[in-house]
Amino acid sequence: MNKPPIFHEPAVCLTKFGPESGEAASAILARKDWERKSGTAHHANEFWWGIGEKGTAESLRHLIENYKAKSVIFVAVKDQSPKGSIPQQVLVWRKYRTLGGRQNSDIPKNILVTSAVSTKDGKLKSNHFALVCNATAPIRAGSVGRFANSHYKNLTKAGTGYELGSDKRGQRTTSPLVKWTRHAVTPADCDSVIQFSAHFAEPYCAELQDSKRVPYAQVLALNAIKTVGQWLASVAAIRR
């Protein structure tokens, strides 16, 4: 059996995924794949992946603009057992703007991005962020590539600029990375399996606006979707 290829691009966004809010990762990925399958025209094969921190979003914009990052790779966390309890409510986001922009636009009709209702300090979330991704292959846990963390350092904000930090990922779920070594990555260097991947799509990283509280049961009901038509109708009803 052929081994998956080694990732070697000079810059990348690495995202770790796993269970959330008492749900298995497989259910979350299945909903993201319905997003992808339901897009049309210039939103074909598009899905949005939520991220919570403005600083991460700004670093990703710098990564794209200055290091020409094109890819988002998804790596599973080690512990895939569901934890925590299912929340009663979540926020669903309905509009977006480019980072630093002022003009709000409707999030595409195939997209459903949710978040926790409150921030870590208990305040109602006023904004959220998302990676705008495009993938022609199904979104599901697999083995599409191999990645060597030691060859990539985190792009971090330093004063008014950016610098390369550690090659350790820590607790961050989304990391903008730059290859800092000059030699080729070898099979022995690889320590992570890329489960699935995507390319950035315009506007690459979006700031989300116009949230609405919805019962999480409505989101869970999407797990029974069987057709693209059902997905689009259900998303429209949740966002309405």
Residues 156-177 have pLDDT tens digits of: 999 889 999 999 887 779 999 9
Instruction: Give the global pTM.
Output: 0.94
Beta strands 196-215 and 71-76, pairing class? antiparallel
Q: How far apart are CA 239 and CA 93, in angstroms?
A: 8
Interval 111-154: pLDDT, tens: 999 999 988 888 889 889 999 999 999 999 999 999 999 999 99
Residue pair 187/146 in contact by the 8 Å Cβ criterion: yes
Closest CA to 5 of 200, 150, 198, 193: 193
Would you give the distance in Å from CA 5 to the centre of its chain?
22
Among all chains, which residue has been given the structure tokens 């959330």? Answer: 20
Q: How far apart are CA 98 and CA 40, in angstroms?
A: 21
Identity at 105, one-letter amino acid code: S
